[in-house]
Structure 1
Amino acid sequence: MSDSPLSDLLPADRLAAALPRPGTWRPLPPAADRATWGRVPVAPRARLARWAEERLAGSWPPLPPDGFEAFGVRGDRVHHEGPYFARRSRMTAAVVRTLLAGPGAATDQLIEGVRELCGEPTWCLPAHERSPRPGGTPAPDPERPTVDLFAAETAGLLAFTSLLVGDELPPEERGTIEAEVRHRVLAPFRERDWPWLGLRGEPLNNWTPWILSNVLPATLLLDDDPGTQAFGVARAVAALDRYLASVPADGGCDEGIHYWWRAAASFFECLEHLASATGEDGAFRLPVVASMARYPVAAHLGGEWYVNFADGRPVLRAAEPGLLYRYGVRTGDADVRAQAASMPPATDLDAPDHSLARLVTPLIDDGWHQARHTPPAAPLPRQTWLPDTQVLTAREQAGDSGGLFVAAKAGHNDESHNHNDVGSFIVGVNARPVVIDLGVGTYDRSTFGPDRYRIWTMRSAWHNLPLIDGHEQAAGRHHTAADVGAQLSATVATLTLDLAGAWPQEAGVRSWRRELTLARGAKPATLTVRDDWHLAEQPGDLALHLVTTGPVAVDQAAGTLALGPDGHRLAVRFDAAGYRAETEERSVTDAKLRAVWGPVVHRVRLVAVRPEASGATVLTFQAARNTP
């Protein structure tokens, strides 16, 4: 495969010839096309109509005058972002209401929305602003706009607003949309070398496809000069090539399943826009593009739960399954289509990553509605090994979310949205995680700054890992797993790795070999986690950690733990002579974490009674068949 497969398919001269004349690209029909929008099925129509009505009640939420100061002084992102995103939800709701109920249903709200959004001093979030005042407080510069994720999202929102309901807007408001999107996003995108373009070899993540999934349609819809439009599309294609070169061949997403929906899924949307505008659809047949589509299948634990390494969230309340279905159609993957059709509809329509086009496109996808009419079961593959991402997922029986599930990772501690978690694992019982990865809470200034690894959920001490003489794993690309391998068969799935490199040198870890094996050959199935280590000297203390939702019951004499609620109970055996089981609770105060895990999480510490420089120990996990 060429290093530039998209540019090979769409070189600049072919792009210039293939692109439609400015102002003629129509990926979605306008609200006036009642034959199309009138056929939206009853259930999604009613759901979105209720949501739109709720969002359009009351008045426009104002932006706080001190939102940038709140971030610069206190590190508070929510103070500004709460009303910022509420304003965009209201704009989206006005468009949705018009599509569902017909022209005239929300004209005043549409006009007001355009004026409100286009009147904002900046579309960039304080956390992303690149023009700080002296002292470090970010300050927008209207003459030099920053193109971040949500400036691009706002451009996409307004561009699709103009396409879908432009007939509802006076000429002045349509002109304002065009002028503001060009000034705030399209011109700076073309003229400045942003890090997310990767022009100087910068590491790329979800920012690249997420921004371009908005910039591309805005360019195609609102640029009025053929040469300018062709240059912008070619620049986007080149950046997408650089992003694709950074994606592992196995299609894994080291940013976590939550960000898959703004990494691979946004990349897919870019390919859709390009195919629609040019007629070139060869990119969907690239092997890595097909591999990317399968990550949600591999990461599915069962029911609403997913594997959430890195800054992932284990429940995908904002995921739009209609997009995943189209991805499976384009790549010819029946499992991807089945995964999408088995998913519940998105419930968090106010999430910052729920774009207008992403929300409404499935409404008029007849194939998607047919798939939802008799939804298949989720694929639930027996096991998946991603050798480049170094993640293993395995379950007791293919196609069945009952019993044991394990996900384990190797990797390194400089992954995108990294946690210090080399060698950590998740154990689920009956479609629910019991030994957990906490994931990520509400973002603030410390989340992406030098204090990131002071956040408890990012630290190895709150992952399912050893704590060696008080030393936790350290951040950095060189803190990595070694000798990583997986062995898979019908009866066994095994991941082996050496974790030693994940610790700082002063920890004196010469080797720490971990072997995780899910054995299905006998009933009940058993997960075994074996650790063998050699340290430079005898440690003062040594502990193995298991983070769990609770409740926790300990029988020290028998060397057993019972973890998890009724129906999802996990039985764990440990060496009672060599380890003392201690339990602790931690209150969960962050709203996003609390919404998933509840008010309290638990950590089990298996503390070595006589810590040695060299040793071995085994933990075994089984689904408790008879709940006490």
Structure 2
Amino acid sequence: MRFHWEKELLQSWLKDHSLQDEALYWIGGKLVDWAVLSASPPYADLIGEIREEADRLLERPEPELTQELYERFEKTGNRLAYEDKYFERRRRLTSFTLMSLLEPDKRDYKQALIGTIGAILEEPTWCLPAHMRGQEIDRNIDLFSAETGFALSEIIVLLGARLPDPLREAMLGHIDRRLFVPYLSYGPYGWETAEHNWAAVCAGSIGAAALLVEQSAARKSAMLVKAVETMNHYLDGFGEDGACLEGPGYWNYGFGYFVYFADLLGKATDGKADLFASDKVKAVALFQQRCYLAGDRPANFSDAMPHVSVHIGLSDYLADRFEEVEHPSLQLRSRFTDDHCARFAPALRNVLWFQPKAGREANWQPGSWYLPDAQWFISRSASSAGSFGFAAKGGSNNEPHNHIDVGHFILLAGDDPAVAADLGSGEYTADYFGDGRYTYDCNGAQGHSLPMVSGHQQQVGGTSKAEVIEAVTGDQEDRFALELADCYPSESGLQSFQRSFVLRKDEKPSLTVTDTFAFGEGGGQVSEVIVTRCQPSLAEDGRIVLAGGLHTAELSYGVGRFRAAIVERPFVNHFGQEESYYRIHLIAEHSAERSQQFALDFEFK
């Protein structure tokens, strides 16, 4: 289903409605009373986090965004130096706005907010340096310029006359100059037809801002038509299974902004323009509860983090909208400071959309899911021994935020280091998204649990893809099997490479990974690779012990079949911090055989 409403129709639906009123922000059918929220015990932890951060920031000076910091990206590829200060300003904007609403009698918050808004209006561009790269000031729109305009629009609506008139008028002028005029006059932008988070964030933010502050009905409806069409492209990036190939963090991000815009559009049209009226949107809404393996640990393929907390406002909103969506445990709730970008829209809705009285389970419900469009297999189980998770993927090596990882898998228990791990996202630099992307262990085949075949690793590209042979979920056993020969170059000599997974869901689960290789004349050399965050030790020929925390696992691979080696490798995580992982190499002793089969058995003890 594709959404489309003509400009004239949208204009007729909007003409009797204005979102320039606090009545937009209702809770349970009543106008939000910020003073009641501030004193309400169920909100105490969340509001306490906001207050603590706002008070910390009151003691700090307004961060300075210098030209030298801005130019550092082009000179060195470093993003963090500029972005750290950029996002601290957004953290101030979000913190001081929320506290000005919750505690309006404390003038320090409002005065600090006014200073931060003034600093943001003085920024030459709201775009990040990494997204400018030759673009003209006030003609380019990236994720963060769109988010900034949306945030300022909501602040205008929420604080209204409490902001000085000249400042409010200046905010409106900058939103128009930096977002509305470029969107209507200088596009189309690449993200307008993108099938990933950029489409939802940019178009959703601009469309929401237009609903909130644009006075011209003609301009507003024109922007809404464009935004809705971009949302169609965003949804095209999902299969019918609703899987977000970029992972749950980007699901929070992209789908979050889809929902924020859809909610405002529905309110502005009395429900006539309903972006939720789609089976695919419902499937996407269900992705969150299907992608977690244990607690806050998802199947973190692609540039996903190993730990991802839930946005409680977004989650509760979707659980109200769709009966099958779970209200997640409050233990998984993201803290106010978890978002290093300090985005205003989700922070506001984590307060307004949170439902303290919703029924919640302590953990995600056990289950197994095969997502056929993504070719992801996910299984989580729980017993008196603890919680356990397994995930494996097919797909291709040409996906959003691509890693070379077809046939890769994850195995973990509770909060222990992952037995078979995905490193997730590395530090974003120019090279990370450039020619050097796959030299990073986070992204390249070398950082995933994939065999080397005759000295060759998997290749990047759309033809490097899996064929699913079997995907069966069951109460006691799950099975998943893939043909992976197309992922390796012809020089590997492969005619077939089938990888199968059998997960037995006992009190403590066990996993068998069986790799079956067929080579042409001359055979081939296989080196199995397992990536782990556990401390591995060679116990004896054919067995490696993987020491976790609460649980220990054993990897058995057959006496006399491999020569084993363990290498500890450093990598830099998404936040620029150095970590390490272990790469287990199992080098097959018999290399000339045309047919070879190896079984790797993982068992929790």
The alignment's TM-score, normalised by the length of structure 2, stands at 0.92
Matched with 2:585 is 605
Task: Give the 3 Å change call, closer, same or farther, for CA 84–403 of structure 1 in structure 2.
Answer: closer
- Count of aligned pairs: 593
Matched with 1:137 is none
Q: Secondary structure at the match of 2:101?
A: helix
Task: Give the 3 Å change call, closer, same or farther, for CA 297–42 of structure 1 in structure 2.
Answer: same
2:448 counterpart of 1:463: yes
1:475 to 453, 460, 465: 460
- Contact preservation (8 Å) 2:563, 2:586: yes
- Contact preservation (8 Å) 2:291, 2:298: yes
Once residues 539 and 83 of structure 1 are traced to their aligned partners in structure 2, the CA distance between those partners, rounded to angstroms, is 56
Matched with 1:67 is 69
Q: Residue 282 of structure 1: CA displacement?
A: 4.3
Once residues 189 and 170 of structure 2 are traced to their aligned partners in structure 1, the CA distance between those partners, rounded to angstroms, is 25
Q: Residue 341 of structure 1: CA displacement?
A: 4.4
Aligned amino acid, residue 543 of structure 2:
T
Matched with 1:93 is 95
Q: Secondary structure at the match of 2:144?
A: helix
2:130 counterpart of 1:127: yes
Q: Secondary structure at the match of 2:84?
A: helix
Alignment deviations for residues 287-327 of structure 1 (CA, whole Å, 9 cap, x no partner): 1111111212111111221110000002125x422211111
Aligned amino acid, residue 115 of structure 2:
E
Q: Secondary structure at the match of 2:554?
A: strand
Q: Residue 21 of structure 1: CA displacement?
A: 4.5
Once residues 306 and 486 of structure 1 are traced to their aligned partners in structure 2, the CA distance between those partners, rounded to angstroms, is 20
Q: Residue 345 of structure 1: CA displacement?
A: 3.5
Q: Residue 466 of structure 1: CA displacement?
A: 0.3
- Contact preservation (8 Å) 2:25, 2:352: no
Aligned amino acid, residue 409 of structure 1:
K
Aligned amino acid, residue 563 of structure 1:
L
Matched with 1:363 is 351
Alignment of 1:367-386 (within 5 A): 368-371=355-358, 375-386=360-371
2:398 counterpart of 1:410: no
Q: Secondary structure at the match of 1:262?
A: helix
Alignment of 1:193-592 (within 5 A): 193-198=188-193, 203-280=194-271, 282-317=274-309, 319-333=310-324, 336-339=325-328, 341=330, 343-346=332-335, 348-352=337-341, 354-365=342-353, 368-371=355-358, 375-397=360-382, 402=386, 404-430=388-414, 432=416, 433-520=418-505, 524-538=508-522, 541-557=525-541, 559-590=542-573, 592=575
Q: Secondary structure at the match of 1:529?
A: strand
Task: Give the 3 Å change call, closer, same or farther, for CA 485–348 of structure 1 in structure 2.
Answer: farther
Task: Give the 3 Å change call, closer, same or farther, for CA 172–347 of structure 1 in structure 2.
Answer: closer
Task: Give the 3 Å change call, closer, same or farther, for CA 356–525 of structure 1 in structure 2.
Answer: closer
2:27 counterpart of 1:44: no
- Contact preservation (8 Å) 2:294, 2:388: no
Once residues 523 and 566 of structure 2 are traced to their aligned partners in structure 1, the CA distance between those partners, rounded to angstroms, is 21
Q: Residue 400 of structure 1: CA displacement?
A: 7.7
Aligned amino acid, residue 616 of structure 1:
Q
Aligned amino acid, residue 535 of structure 2:
P
Aligned amino acid, residue 12 of structure 1:
K
Once residues 56 and 356 of structure 2 are traced to their aligned partners in structure 1, the CA distance between those partners, rounded to angstroms, is 25
Matched with 2:153 is 159
Aligned amino acid, residue 79 of structure 1:
A
Once residues 141 and 72 of structure 2 are traced to their aligned partners in structure 1, the CA distance between those partners, rounded to angstroms, is 21
2:25 to 21, 25, 28: 28
Once residues 174 and 117 of structure 1 are traced to their aligned partners in structure 2, the CA distance between those partners, rounded to angstroms, is 13
Aligned amino acid, residue 540 of structure 2:
Q
Task: Give the 3 Å change call, closer, same or farther, for CA 102–29 of structure 1 in structure 2.
Answer: farther
Matched with 2:136 is 141
Q: Secondary structure at the match of 1:326?
A: helix
2:120 to 95, 117, 120: 117
Task: Give the 3 Å change call, closer, same or farther, for CA 606–298 of structure 1 in structure 2.
Answer: same
- Contact preservation (8 Å) 2:192, 2:203: no
Q: Residue 504 of structure 1: CA displacement?
A: 2.3
Once residues 406 and 420 of structure 1 are traced to their aligned partners in structure 2, the CA distance between those partners, rounded to angstroms, is 19
Once residues 32 and 402 of structure 1 are traced to their aligned partners in structure 2, the CA distance between those partners, rounded to angstroms, is 41
Matched with 1:135 is none
Aligned amino acid, residue 175 of structure 2:
V
- Contact preservation (8 Å) 1:39, 1:364: no
Q: Residue 542 of structure 1: CA displacement?
A: 2.2
Deviates more, 1:447-456 or 1:582-591: 582-591
Q: Residue 409 of structure 1: CA displacement?
A: 0.2
Q: Residue 357 of structure 1: CA displacement?
A: 2.7
Once residues 431 and 552 of structure 2 are traced to their aligned partners in structure 1, the CA distance between those partners, rounded to angstroms, is 36
Task: Give the 3 Å change call, closer, same or farther, for CA 172–88 of structure 1 in structure 2.
Answer: same
- Contact preservation (8 Å) 2:248, 2:298: yes
Task: Give the 3 Å change call, closer, same or farther, for CA 25–306 of structure 1 in structure 2.
Answer: same
Task: Give the 3 Å change call, closer, same or farther, for CA 176–538 of structure 1 in structure 2.
Answer: farther
Task: Give the 3 Å change call, closer, same or farther, for CA 157–623 of structure 1 in structure 2.
Answer: same
Alignment deviations for residues 139-168 of structure 1 (CA, whole Å, 9 cap, x no partner): x633x4210000111111211121222323
Matched with 1:181 is 175
Q: Residue 567 of structure 1: CA displacement?
A: 1.0
Alignment deviations for residues 534-589 of structure 1 (CA, whole Å, 9 cap, x no partner): 123546742111111121121233x1111132313211110221112210111344
Once residues 575 and 456 of structure 2 are traced to their aligned partners in structure 1, the CA distance between those partners, rounded to angstroms, is 28
Once residues 544 and 614 of structure 1 are traced to their aligned partners in structure 2, the CA distance between those partners, rounded to angstroms, is 15
2:596 counterpart of 1:615: yes
Deviates more, 1:279-288 or 1:243-252: 279-288
Task: Give the 3 Å change call, closer, same or farther, for CA 505–266 of structure 1 in structure 2.
Answer: farther
2:78 counterpart of 1:83: no
Once residues 479 and 576 of structure 2 are traced to their aligned partners in structure 1, the CA distance between those partners, rounded to angstroms, is 30
Once residues 576 and 469 of structure 2 are traced to their aligned partners in structure 1, the CA distance between those partners, rounded to angstroms, is 31
Alignment deviations for residues 51-85 of structure 1 (CA, whole Å, 9 cap, x no partner): 11112222100002123421112111112111111
Task: Give the 3 Å change call, closer, same or farther, for CA 114–431 of structure 1 in structure 2.
Answer: closer
Task: Give the 3 Å change call, closer, same or farther, for CA 266–509 of structure 1 in structure 2.
Answer: farther
1:190 to 184, 192, 215: 184
Task: Give the 3 Å change call, closer, same or farther, for CA 306–23 of structure 1 in structure 2.
Answer: closer
Aligned amino acid, residue 335 of structure 2:
A
Q: Residue 405 of structure 1: CA displacement?
A: 2.2
Aligned amino acid, residue 49 of structure 1:
R
- Contact preservation (8 Å) 2:500, 2:513: yes
Once residues 336 and 212 of structure 2 are traced to their aligned partners in structure 1, the CA distance between those partners, rounded to angstroms, is 29
Aligned amino acid, residue 207 of structure 1:
W
Once residues 518 and 622 of structure 1 are traced to their aligned partners in structure 2, the CA distance between those partners, rounded to angstroms, is 10
Q: Residue 23 of structure 1: CA displacement?
A: 5.9
Q: Secondary structure at the match of 2:232?
A: helix
Deviates more, 1:152-161 or 1:563-572: 563-572
Q: Residue 105 of structure 1: CA displacement?
A: 4.3
Alignment deviations for residues 477-518 of structure 1 (CA, whole Å, 9 cap, x no partner): 111112443012222211111111112233232211000111
Matched with 1:18 is 13
Task: Give the 3 Å change call, closer, same or farther, for CA 591–249 of structure 1 in structure 2.
Answer: closer
Q: Residue 472 of structure 1: CA displacement?
A: 1.2
Once residues 149 and 469 of structure 2 are traced to their aligned partners in structure 1, the CA distance between those partners, rounded to angstroms, is 44
Deviates more, 1:339-348 or 1:41-50: 339-348
